[in-house]
Amino acid sequence: MTALLGCIADDFTGGTDLAGMLVKAGMRTVQLIGVPTEPLPDDVDAVVIALKSRTNPVGEAVAESLSALRWLREAGCRQFYFKYCSTFDSTSRGNIGPVAEALMQALDTDFTIACPALPGNGRTLYKGNLFVGDVPLSESGMRNHPLTPMTDANLVRVLQQQAQRKVGLVDYATVSRGDAAIRERFTALRQQGHGFAIVDALFNADLDVIGAACADMPLVTGGSGIALGLPQNFRRRGLLASNAMAEALPKTAGLRAVISGSCSMATQRQVEVARASFPSFNVDPIRLARGEDVVSAALDWAGGHIAQQPVLIYATATPEAVRRVQAELGVEQAGNLVENALASIARGLIPAGVGQMIVAGGETSGAVVKALGVKGLRIGPEIDPGVPWTRTLHDDGTQPLALALKSGNFGSEDFFLKAWDKLR
Ligand SMILES: Nc1ncnc2c1ncn2[C@@H]1O[C@H](COP(=O)(O)OP(=O)(O)O)[C@@H](O)[C@H]1O
Ligand SMILES: O=C(O)[C@@H](O)C(=O)COP(=O)(O)O
């Protein structure tokens, strides 16, 4: 059987978030890192190609996404999904608009939705405005994001800045009337020349209805939430069995480490809580910029602790501290220095016996997964909404690693403490 749903995620934590949702909805799912060269395993219903294209130059992001789409089409997928962040992380240049438009053109379709709603994690949309918990996006911690600060909550406006096609809205009054009403509104928007519909959603039940309304769309774009509504479309058509065992993973042994490069508010709190429970090492960007060998220092330090308990290695800092560092080093250089250092530390921890690793932060996860040479991930049980455990798929006979790629803003305060229990 070939895969039904082919997904392109713009970062690696976003990829596992999406893949975890699909597994929860009963699709056997693998996440592939970058555009693969090998054929797809055959016991798979959905495939997620995870790119690191969220903050790349637009041209690169478009080219990589198109190349992923080509592979997914050759693999026989019937519907395609472009996954971006539930907080719509992007800048006025993109990359959500330009990538979505390039995929639409390649798939010869002139209409799609854009819906980052994820009610389970507090991301809801009303009148086109994205809320994070109780506040509009622009008042949430995302306004201080190191790479993609989000300062406008109105997604019709945000997407319109990045897109050539007209952006319209399917508001909650329509969504609450069900999938037929949503489809009617799609038709009306399309006739008025819109290429995108931002779709309101407040509750998980809305995701099912919106998913049903998108059954015939060649391309759907959104956060991981909307994907929850898509497997049922395949089931209705007799293409997908109920797969209660979709999340089963073999056990993975080994020592435990947490690598955190996210500066999001949820991660700041998780780091604080974990620091009270296990040994921690701070990676300071200024020391990195001075050329100090922080990587070796971190690995030497870890060697002294890791046999007894999990270790935490983090660059996570407050918005004020990040601003100071960025003012001194520049946004890009600061980000790259930290990502490279954390990735080298993660690579050094494997020969030290680490077999279970949590990485916090989307860009950070991208850097770590690349440094570890991971080709793909089999998706397993959920730790918290949007964060599943995964198991690495290597093609070089290396020992598999249990890896949890945690999106910056996801997870409960005690995430780094409790996650290991799900591996028992
Ligand atoms: N102390 C710090 N100063 C400056 N930049 C940092 C610091 N710690 C981490 N970063 C950078 O901030 C960015 C965080 O992005 P990311 O890993 O995607 O986290 P999130 O998932 O929270 O968005 C990365 O590029 C990381 O290297
Ligand atoms: O949709 C989401 O919120 C996540 O899946 C995601 O993409 C988060 O990205 P990072 O915050 O950069 O980890």
- Per-residue pLDDT tens over the stretch 303-313: 999 999 999 99
Residue of the CA atom closest to atom 3 of ligand 2: 86
How many angstroms does the Cα of residue 179 sit away from the middle of ligand 1?
39
pLDDT for 249 equals 78
Q: What's the start-to-end Cα distance of the chain, in Å?
A: 32
Asked if residue 252 has pLDDT above 90, the reply is: no
ipTM for this model: 0.96
Asked if residue 317 has pLDDT above 70, the reply is: yes
pLDDT for 395 equals 63
Average of per-residue pLDDT across 100-114: 98
Mean pLDDT score across all residues of the chain? 94
335 lines ligand 2 (CB under 6 A): no
45 lines ligand 2 (CB under 6 A): no
Asked if residue 245 has pLDDT above 70, the reply is: no
pLDDT for 1 equals 57
Average of per-residue pLDDT across 269-287: 97
CA 284 from chain center: how many Å?
25
What is the pLDDT confidence band of residue 292, given thresholds at 50, 70 and 90?
very high
pLDDT for 371 equals 95
CATH 3.40.980.20 holds for 255-423: yes
The ligand 1 atom at the shortest distance from the C-alpha of residue 336 is 27
- Per-residue pLDDT tens over the stretch 409-420: 899 999 999 999
What is the pLDDT confidence band of residue 7, given thresholds at 50, 70 and 90?
very high
Asked if residue 396 has pLDDT above 90, the reply is: no
What H or E segment, with its residue span, contains residue 129?
Answer: strand 129-132
Domain with CATH 3.40.50.10840 in the chain: 5-236
pLDDT for 381 equals 87
Nearest partner of 158 among 85, 106, 230, 107, judged by Cα: 85
pLDDT for 416 equals 98
Note whether 212 and 234 are within 8 A (CB): no
The ligand 1 atom at the shortest distance from the C-alpha of residue 337 is 27
17 lines ligand 2 (CB under 6 A): yes
The ligand 1 atom at the shortest distance from the C-alpha of residue 315 is 8
Q: Which ligand lies nearest the alpha carbon of 342?
A: 1
Nearest partner of 410 among 385, 381, 390, judged by Cα: 385
Asked if residue 251 has pLDDT above 90, the reply is: no
Distance in angstroms (rounded) separating the CA atoms of residues 36 and 57: 21
pLDDT for 291 equals 97
pTM, to two decimals: 0.89
What is the pLDDT confidence band of residue 398, given thresholds at 50, 70 and 90?
confident
Asked if residue 242 has pLDDT above 80, the reply is: no
Note whether 338 and 288 are within 8 A (CB): yes
Residue of the CA atom closest to atom 26 of ligand 1: 335
How many angstroms does the Cα of residue 264 sit away from the middle of ligand 1?
8
Nearest partner of 214 among 229, 202, 196, judged by Cα: 229
Query: What size, in residues, is the chain?
Result: 424
Counting ligand 2 atoms within 8 A of each CB, the residue from 363, 407, 415 with the most, and so the one to mutate, is 407
The CATH code of domain 5-236 reads: 3.40.50.10840
Average of per-residue pLDDT across 134-163: 94
AA letter at 27: M
pLDDT for 202 equals 98
Domain with CATH 3.40.980.20 in the chain: 255-423
Distance in angstroms (rounded) separating the CA atoms of residues 233 and 305: 50
Q: Which ligand lies nearest the alpha carbon of 123?
A: 2
Residue with the bigger pLDDT between 319 and 146: it is 319
What is the pLDDT confidence band of residue 244, given thresholds at 50, 70 and 90?
low
Nearest partner of 395 among 66, 33, 132, judged by Cα: 33
Residue of the CA atom closest to atom 11 of ligand 1: 335
Q: Is 377 left (phi over 0), alpha (psi -120 to 50) or beta?
A: beta
CA distances for 152 relative to 87, 143, 171, 185, 333, angstroms = 11, 9, 18, 25, 26
356 lines ligand 2 (CB under 6 A): no
Q: Which ligand lies nearest the alpha carbon of 364?
A: 1
Note whether 3 and 44 are within 8 A (CB): yes
407 lines ligand 1 (CB under 6 A): yes
